[in-house]
Structure formats: C-alpha cells, structure tokens
Amino acid sequence: MKKLVITGLFIAIAIAVFLSPFASSHPDGLEKVAEDKNFLQAAEEKEIIKAPVPDYSMPGIKNKTIAGSVAGLIGTIIVFCIAYGIGIFLKKKATSKVKGQTSK
Amino acid sequence: MHIPDGFLDTKTWMALTAISGTAIAVSLKQTGKTLGEKQIPMMGITAAFIFAAQMLNFPIAGGTSGHFMGGVLAAILLGPFTAILIMTTVLIVQCLIFQDGGVTALGASIFNMGIIGAFVGYYIYVILNKIIKGSKSIFINAFIASWLSIILAAAACSVELSISGTVPLKTSLIAMTGVHAIIGIGEGLITIAVLSFIKKVRPDLLELRHE
C-alpha cells in the first residue's frame, strides 16, 4: 500500500514537473473554437476571482520552465491530498455509522 | 474544455451548478457506501495523475492543442460515482488555484467532464463490454468509451454556450465536436496506455471494484 502510494504519486509528480514544460502552448479545443467563431471576447475581463497561480506558472520565478514545473508540483500534491482526504473522510464516516448501528 | 467566466449566462451556469451540486452530494453518499480500503489511496493517486496529465497539452492540427481529461479512466479504476468526486477535485483546484476555468462555469465543467465525461462515459464502457468481448476487449472498449466521452462533453459544452446565447448551436456543435473528435483519439490512447501499464505492473488494481 505504501509502495503503491509512493510510486503512484512519484509518476504523477514526474509528469507535472518534467513533462509539462514540453506541453503545447497552442490554444485548446474550446479556446480555438472561441477564437474562430468570434466569442473569445465574451470572457475578457470577466474573471470572478484572481487565482494565486494563474496559467500554471508560479509567480515570482523568472524562468518560465521552472515556474511551470513548480506550479505543476504544487497542484499535483494539493489534488492528491484533497482526493485522498475525501476518501479517508468518507471511510471514517461509513465505519462510524456501522459501529453506531451495531451498538444499538 | 474548461469554460471561462463570461461564456455562460446566469441562468445556465446556475442551473448547471445546481445539477452538479446534487450529483456531488449523491456521489459522496455512494462512494461512502462502497469505498474499499485500497481504493482510498487510489483516489489520491488517480486524481494526482489526472491533474498532472491534464497539464500536457498535445498539438493537433490547425494550431490547436488538446489534453487528457481522464473521466473514463477514473471511472474504470474507481467506479462512476468516485470518478465524479475525482474530476470535481481536479476541476476545483484548477479553477481556484490556477485560473483554469471560471468560478461561475465550475458547475458546467463538472457537468461536462464529471457527469458526462466520467459517469456517462463509464456506462458507455459498461454497455460496450456486453457487446464486444474477448481478451483485448477492455482496451478496445475503453478506447471507444473515452473517445466518445470527449465528444459528448464537447457537445454538452456547445449546448450550454448556445443556451447562453454566446454562439449559435449549429456553429459551436460542428466546431466543438470536430476538434474534440481528434482530441478524443489522444484521450483513448492515453486511457489504454495507462490501463495496460496497470494491468502489467499491478493487475489487482483493475479488480478493486469487484473485491
């Protein structure tokens, strides 16, 4: 189990840190369609929030490649912790419910 | 396919937020009932992998790129309800930390990539498994289901954009499904690559849901 977590997380982090610099910077499918069909401007200046790490680039790091890799590393770890946490929380809740029922 | 703020009008994003909110509540309940001990770390790993893989935009024709979505993969590994939770986690982090997708469109993105992409995509896979059988069938079926999941998510996105009055339905439907039919090939290939890797190194992980 421990080995699984370490290996799995290692693979995800390796992708986010070492492969993300090679990602294409072309617009994605939706963005390209919005450009071609003239509705990209609908999103201009419409952001509700200012995210701390916009566009997967860590602010304050001059080297864009490193800024992207750091952003990827942070994001991967945060996502891992939240999803793992949801799992632990749901399991705990389910176990306490079962215990509650048997004690009645 | 992360929709930014401004593409959807208020009635559309509010309705989709309500639908996705309900789906998340149901998914939490269902996952709580069925979650096995081994599946808990797999939730974290799968979500982390999907987040990382979504960063890898691959170029397709015409100055456009696409990236992996991972809905069908998550659902094959952990079930359709848990997959909705995984996609939701990834989308919320992308939106709130990386400005990828708007806050108002978060419900729409969860609908498109979680409910359509993962949940509906998974049941396409289940139906295909009843039709196409054989030793390699899970890979063929996973490819078709994940390819279709991208096209269906793109179609759902087009419908939302047209209901919002952003772009006429026919225009966006043709353009969106066309581009995503190509991106979907990448989705299918990555999905079967990951499944065959897992089958080779840890085949037990493909059987978690049947234990």
Average pLDDT over residues B19-45: 95
On whether residue B77 sits in a domain, the answer given is yes
Confidence check: pLDDT of A87 > 50: yes
CB atoms B100 and A9 under 8 Å: no
Average pLDDT over residues A9-29: 96
Question: Does A49 contact B at CB distance below 8 Å?
Answer: yes
Question: Does A3 contact B at CB distance below 8 Å?
Answer: no
CB atoms A83 and B43 under 8 Å: yes
Confidence check: pLDDT of A103 > 80: no
Furthest-apart CA pair in chain A: how many Å? Answer: 64
Q: Which amino acid is at B207?
A: E
**d(Cα B134, Cα B128) in Å, to the nearest integer?**
12
pLDDT bucket at A101, cuts 50 / 70 / 90: low
Strand locations in chain B (E):
58-60, 64-66
Which residue(s) pair with B59 in the sheet?
Answer: B65
Query: How large is the C-alpha radius of gyration of chain B?
Result: 17
Count of domains in chain B?
1
On whether residue B4 sits in a domain, the answer given is no
CATH number for the domain that contains residue B78: 1.10.1760.20
On whether residue B41 sits in a domain, the answer given is yes
Work out the minimum CA distance from B21 to partner chain A, whole angstroms. 16
Query: For A27-31, B33-37, B121-125, which range has the lowest pLDDT when averaged over its residues?
Result: B33-37
Of A28, A51, A56, the CB nearest to B96: A51
On whether residue B3 sits in a domain, the answer given is no
Share of chain A above pLDDT 70, in %: 96
Q: Please report where in the chains the tokens 């840890």 appear, as a residue.
A: B202
**d(Cα B90, Cα A71) in Å, to the nearest integer?**
14
**d(Cα A10, Cα A12) in Å, to the nearest integer?**
5
Q: How much is the pLDDT for B131?
A: 96
Q: Which residue range(s) make up the domain with B14? A: 10-206
Q: How much is the pLDDT for A102?
A: 60
CB atoms B59 and A24 under 8 Å: yes
CB atoms B41 and A5 under 8 Å: yes
Q: How much is the pLDDT for A104?
A: 45
Query: For A39-53, B139-153, B176-190, which range has the lowest pLDDT when averaged over its residues?
Result: A39-53
Average pLDDT over residues B173-179: 97
On whether residue B1 sits in a domain, the answer given is no
Q: pLDDT, tens digit, for every residue of B33-42?
A: 999 988 999 9
What sign has the CA pseudo-torsion A62, A68, A73, A79?
positive
Confidence check: pLDDT of A1 > 80: no
Chain A with chain B: Cβ pairs closer than 8 A: 214
Q: How much is the pLDDT for A96?
A: 85
Confidence check: pLDDT of B210 > 70: no
* CB < 8 Å to B86, chain A: 83
pLDDT bucket at B132, cuts 50 / 70 / 90: very high
Q: pLDDT, tens digit, for every residue of B4-13?
A: 999 999 999 9
Q: How much is the pLDDT for B119?
A: 98
* CB < 8 Å to B81, chain A: none
* CB < 8 Å to B102, chain A: 43, 46-48
Query: CA–CA distance from B65 to each of A91, B15, B46, B53, B70 (Å)?
Result: 39, 29, 23, 14, 16
On whether residue B144 sits in a domain, the answer given is yes
On whether residue B211 sits in a domain, the answer given is no
Confidence check: pLDDT of B68 > 80: yes
Q: Do B109 and B91 meet the contact criterion of CB atoms below 8 Å apart?
A: yes
Mapping DSSP to helix (H, G, I), strand (E, B) and coil, where does residue A38 land? coil
Average pLDDT, chain B: 96
